[in-house]
Chains A and B, each alone.
Chain A
């Protein structure tokens, strides 16, 4: 048993074990993709075949749905809006969460414990119930129908979690590093920025991806705050393809849109996941 030591160094694994590992992952991957695969395949079918009770893998494949989506709806505009909002949410959210997480991890300031609790409590009250007063607040700040309103709202969703997560990561970074920074004449902010953040890369990657997706796929706030088609985000714009809830969604528009909306999320994750391995070596050398 002892030959398969965990960690980043490659050890030989018996073939049987390797097969089992791949088999498990393939099964999991299959379960993960099969509803998405259905969406993908459907996006290439002509409208009338998408939701028929006859199940086919491919039937009269066509790109008509895509050209219809890109040509006749505001999809590209929404795509751009979403990109901007998700990017700003990611940057602002991570900045807030990382600084707060670091302060909580390293300093024992008065108000720290209540603050941690506040973060939790803000996640507990159902947003569906708070949407009316939040709308009024946004209205009095004159932010209705602006991307800013959504960036702020998404930060309230993402930051508490990210702060908690990052606090956990910062906790694992040895305090000697802070001391070293202090000896070198760095202030608390300098230590945080120059020494700690680079070491917390896996944590930052996870939380960055999380904030990105929070903003990318959110519907409830977007549907509350946005009024005009030119301001819609992707996720909310897609809702217009589900015109009357008891009736069917417009699958011919919804499926290609869902495919296209997934791609950027995949790309962002691709970059984020590279950092999932990088942090340890840096942390390891120091301890």
Chain B
């Protein structure tokens, strides 16, 4: 066993010879630029695009969450233009102003919205989806990684759920779950209403999202399996490892880097996954399957848009996910993975 584990470690370790030297000494800015310009040049395009389109609006949103800005009180003055000519501008009497942490207090104490119950639903939704995505995706990727007759046909068929635009399949699933005309009830011969209680509705939307998300995990893991050198498996076999031992000692460690990425990002994406719940259950019954992001949308984006409350939801979601990521990283570090 020990031989196997040791054999695994080297390829998963990137060499950082060049980099280590660079960081070991404190250098002036000029030498830093001289030494790192190519690395910086390689990341600059991404950084610029992300900074303009995501980071800047995000910082704006963090500021908005400390004010009482809505669509109605945002402008300093409201101008009423007349098509026949003429224009009347009046100062906005309740122009938005700084309110400190009021929005956070309102949301967290339940004066506005239902933060905590939506948070609970979000957790169930996220973890259920990610666990099924990953385990099913891993299983299928392992099956498809073997030499096998018709492998590329299976592969293409299995990625189809990813290839259909999500909102179309969401409508199709909604129809499948329909009480009166749905396929599931027809097959079961029942008149069960899938959406009249929260547990059932939540199960239904999770099934839809698992169906949608497995192909992505499967493809990513398939790519990861390819980077595990075959020699490791051979060495393991020679050592007399069982299939299960090979899986836990060669496959899983070899997939660690890919798995860490897709689980982390999968969690983040699922946490904020909007369209499925919005289309399939519409958050029903009576708000029972509302997750934070759909709740925020309903709360703040219907009618006069409440930018500050929306931003507050956003910042709270961001904080939860940062906390999760920090914990996740800590966990990975304990396992020996560094990033």
- Seen from chain A, the residues whose Cβ lies within 8 Å of a Cβ on chain B are 1-2, 4-11, 21-22, 24-25, 28-29, 31-33, 35-36, 38-39, 51-53, 55, 95-97, 99-100, 102-112, 115-116, 118-130, 132-134, 137, 152-153, 155-156, 159-161, 163-165, 168-172, 174-176, 178, 187-189, 192, 202-203, 205-206, 209-210, 213, 216-217, 219-220, 234-235, 238-239, 242, 249, 254, 257-258, 261-262, 265-266, 269-270, 273, 276-277, 279-280, 283-284, 287
Q: How far is the CA of A156 from the CA of B54 in the complex (A)?
A: 8
Closest Cβ of chain B to A225, distance in Å, is 12
Closest Cβ of chain A to B118, distance in Å, is 13
B274 and A220 contact, CB distance less than 8 A:
yes
Closest Cβ of chain B to A79, distance in Å, is 13
A125 and B58 contact, CB distance less than 8 A:
yes
A273: contacting residue among B156, B183, B307, CB under 8 A:
B156
> Count the B residues whose beta carbon is within 8 Å of the partner chain — how many?
116
B229 and A283 contact, CB distance less than 8 A:
yes
Q: How far is the CA of A22 from the CA of B143 in the complex (A)?
A: 9
Main secondary structure of the interface of A (DSSP, over half): helix
Docked complex: B312-332 residues within 8 A CB-CB of A: 313-314, 317-318, 321-322, 325
Of B41-49, B82-90, B103-111, B194-202, which binds chain A?
A: B41-49
Closest Cβ of chain A to B8, distance in Å, is 11
Q: Which residues of B contact A95 (CB under 8 A)?
A: 45
Q: 6 A-B residue contacts at CB 8 Å? A: A51-B175, A99-B45, A126-B317, A203-B227, A276-B222, A276-B223
Q: How far is the CA of A102 from the CA of B307 in the complex (A)?
A: 39
Q: Could you count the A-B residue pairs with CB atoms below 8 Å apart for me: how many are there?
A: 337
Q: How far is the CA of A162 from the CA of B38 in the complex (A)?
A: 20
Question: Which 8 A-B residue pairings sit nearest by Cβ, starting from the closest?
Answer: A108-B19, A175-B15, A265-B163, A7-B230, A168-B257, A53-B181, A133-B57, A206-B223
B164 and A258 contact, CB distance less than 8 A:
yes
B43 and A165 contact, CB distance less than 8 A:
no
A115 and B339 contact, CB distance less than 8 A:
no
Q: Which residues of A contact B11 (CB under 8 A)?
A: 172, 174, 287
Q: Which residues of B contact A178 (CB under 8 A)?
A: 15
B164: contacting residue among A39, A188, A276, CB under 8 A:
A39
11 other contacts beyond A25-B143, A106-B19, with CB at 8 A cut-off?
A: A130-B58, A156-B49, A161-B261, A165-B220, A171-B13, A219-B166, A220-B274, A234-B165, A265-B164, A266-B160, A269-B159
A33: contacting residue among B61, B157, B173, B307, CB under 8 A:
B157
B314 and A28 contact, CB distance less than 8 A:
no
Q: How far is the CA of A96 from the CA of B44 in the complex (A)?
A: 9
B223 and A202 contact, CB distance less than 8 A:
yes
Q: Which residues of A contact B171 (CB under 8 A)?
A: 242, 249, 254
B160 and A36 contact, CB distance less than 8 A:
yes
In chain A, what residue has the closest Cβ to B292? A126
Closest Cβ of chain B to A80, distance in Å, is 17
Interface assignment of B127: CB less than 8 Å from any CB of chain A: no
Closest Cβ of chain B to A261, distance in Å, is 6
Docked complex: B278-303 residues within 8 A CB-CB of A: 293, 296-297, 300-301
B55: contacting residue among A32, A38, A118, A279, CB under 8 A:
A118
For B22, B145, B147, B243, the residue with the greatest tally of chain A CB atoms inside 10 Å of its CB is: B147
Main secondary structure of the interface of B (DSSP, over half): helix
In chain B, what residue has the closest Cβ to A3? B237
B161 and A32 contact, CB distance less than 8 A:
yes
Q: How far is the CA of A118 from the CA of B37 in the complex (A)?
A: 20
Interface assignment of B1: CB less than 8 Å from any CB of chain A: no
A25 and B154 contact, CB distance less than 8 A:
yes
Interface assignment of B264: CB less than 8 Å from any CB of chain A: yes
Q: How far is the CA of A77 from the CA of B41 in the complex (A)?
A: 37
Interface assignment of B95: CB less than 8 Å from any CB of chain A: no
A129 and B54 contact, CB distance less than 8 A:
no
Asked whether A21 and B143 contact (CB < 8 A) given A172-B12, A284-B230, the answer is yes
Interface assignment of B336: CB less than 8 Å from any CB of chain A: no
Q: Which residues of A contact B242 (CB under 8 A)?
A: 1
Asked whether A170 and B14 contact (CB < 8 A) given A124-B318, A126-B274, A280-B230, the answer is yes
A29 and B230 contact, CB distance less than 8 A:
no
Docked complex: B127-178 residues within 8 A CB-CB of A: 140, 143-148, 152, 154-169, 171-173, 175-176
Q: How far is the CA of A5 from the CA of B235 in the complex (A)?
A: 10
A165 and B261 contact, CB distance less than 8 A:
yes
A128 and B14 contact, CB distance less than 8 A:
no
In chain B, what residue has the closest Cβ to A29? B157
Q: Which residues of B contact A104 (CB under 8 A)?
A: 43
Asked whether A276 and B226 contact (CB < 8 A) given A10-B147, A108-B23, A134-B57, the answer is yes
Q: How far is the CA of A152 from the CA of B286 in the complex (A)?
A: 38
